[in-house]
Amino acid sequence: MEMNFLALAAAALSALVVGFVWYNPNVFGNAWMKAADMTEDKMKGANMAKIFILAFIFAFILAMAMQMLTIHQIGAMGMVGADIENALPSYAAFMADYGTAHRTFGHGALHGIMSGIFVALPIIGTNALFERKGAKYILINSGYWIVTMGVMGAIVCGWV
């Protein structure tokens, strides 16, 4: 099993695409601005190139982690220390039988959504509590990550 750079890049790009739609003023953008205490003045003067480049890099890192959250065969690789060449014959037999099991877009989306709920939501919720943000802020931002991680999981797991 090798890291597919194209799948990871597509998954990372999907985070930006989902964000473009999610935070559009006609979707959740205006509600997010109010919940985040963001104003047009605060947004002016931002270095958008830097923001989007860093957002893509962070999304790429997340896409790499999504492999471990969505592809079960990575656990088998971990059991042999990722040293596939020197693994026992039982590893090859296992991978021959199960190497492509549950490698679908739907399965990846399911695990991505579950990861969003059980990882992103608690992190965003905790930060929001200390930032004195309300439920709307938590729901908008965690909702974005739940959807995004679902899409990323689908791409990473289903792109064989």
Q: Which residues contact 42 (CB under 8 A, 6 or more apart)?
A: none
- What is residue 160's predicted lDDT score, i.e. its pLDDT? 62
* Tokens read off for 28: 């959740």
Please give the helix or strand (H or E) that residue 44 lies within, else none: none
* CA-to-CA separations, 54 to 14, 50, 60, 61, 69, in angstroms, rounded: 14, 6, 10, 11, 23
Task: List pLDDT tens digits, range 121-159.
Answer: 999 999 999 999 999 999 999 999 999 999 999 999 998
What digits encode the pLDDT tens for the residues 80-128? Answer: 887 888 888 888 898 888 888 888 999 999 999 999 999 999 999 999 9
DSSP state, residue 2: -
| Per-residue model confidence as pLDDT tens digits over 55-81 | 999 999 999 999 999 998 888 888 888
Cα–Cα distance measured from residue 27 to residue 57, given in angstroms and rounded to the nearest whole number:
25
